[in-house]
Amino acid sequence: MRVQLQSAQRNAITRQSNVIASFDLANNRLRMVQDYNNNDTLNTADKVDFRHLEEGAQFATPTWAGPNGTTPSAAVTGSNLRTVSGMKSVIFRRDGSASSDLEVYVTTRPAVREEYRAVIIAQSTGKSDLYKWNGKAWIRMTQ
């Protein structure tokens, strides 16, 4: 998940066109759109790729506080998330920033708390951090 979001941010900077990362929660996959005209919508000329989560991984909402200290209301949350073609989305801009801060939660086994991971995106920089739940606290896995 983190690698896919980092790739979307890099593509936005390199190609100088926005990239829309949409979360298909029902099918446990990401939709990546290279938004060539930077209009923040999906057009027929835009390049669209779907990327499935790793085998067995799924979006899931933890019932305890996330890395930021608040209990998430959904597996994908953010202050300014967009809805693009019916999916929650974050847009990576040509300068590397994101349209919203973002928290994404995934797990391989929802009943096992230690399997939860969180990816956090900072809106101003588009920088991502990865966390894992060890049963007592969220541990930052990135430097």
89 touches 128 (CB < 8 A): no
Q: Model pTM?
A: 0.94
How confident is the model at residue 12, as a pLDDT? 97
Total domains in the chain come to 1
Cβ neighbours around 4 below 10 Å, total: 16
Where does residue 100 fall: left (phi above 0), alpha (psi -120 to 50 degrees), or beta otherwise?
A: beta
Percent of the chain with pLDDT over 90: 94
Expressed as residue numbers, the domain containing 121 is 2-140
CATH at 111: 3.55.40.10
Q: Given a cut of 90, is residue 6 above it in pLDDT?
A: yes
pLDDT digits over 116-143, tens only? 999 999 999 999 999 999 999 999 998 7
Nearest partner of 131 among 114, 119, 123, 115, judged by Cα = 119
